[in-house]
Amino acid sequence: MKPEQTVIPFTGYQKMVIFLLAVTQFTVILDFMVMSPLGDILMKSLTLTPAAFGVAVSAYAFSAGISGLLTAGFADRFDRKKLLLFFYVGFIVGTIFCGMAHTYVELVAARIITGLFGGVIGSISMAIITDVFNLQQRGRVMGFVQMGFGASQVLGVPIGLYLANIWDWEAPFLMVAGLAVIIAVLILMQLKPLTAHLAFQRDKSAFMHLWHTFAKKKHRIGFTSTALLSIGGFMMMPFGSAFAVNNLNVTNAQLPMLFMISGLSSLLIMPIIGRLSDSVSKFKIFMVASIWMMVMCVVYTNLSGTTFWLVVVLNILMMMGVMSRIILHQP
Q: What pLDDT shows up at residue 3?
A: 46
User: Once rounded to an integer, what is the mean pLDDT over residues 73-99?
Assistant: 86
Mean pLDDT of 27-56: 76
**Contacts for 111 with CB less than 8 Å, ≥ 6 apart:** 56, 57, 59, 60, 63, 94, 98
Angle at CA 132, nearest 5°, toward 127 and 133?
100
pLDDT, residue 71, reads 74
Segment 195-200 shows an average pLDDT of 65
- What is the mean predicted confidence (pLDDT) over 42-59? 78
Centre a 10 Å sphere on the Cβ of residue 307 and count the other Cβ atoms it contains: 10
Q: Structure pTM?
A: 0.69
Mean pLDDT, residues 41-45: 75
Average pLDDT of the chain to the nearest whole number: 77
What is the per-residue pLDDT across 130-156, written as a single tens digit (0 to 9) for each?
Answer: 877 877 676 777 767 766 666 666 666
Residues 201, 194: Cα–Cα separation, whole Å: 14
Residue 113 has pLDDT above 50, yes or no: yes
Long-range contacts of 212-221 (CB under 8 A, 24+ apart): 213/72
As a whole number of angstroms, the distance between CA 88 and CA 25 comes to 10
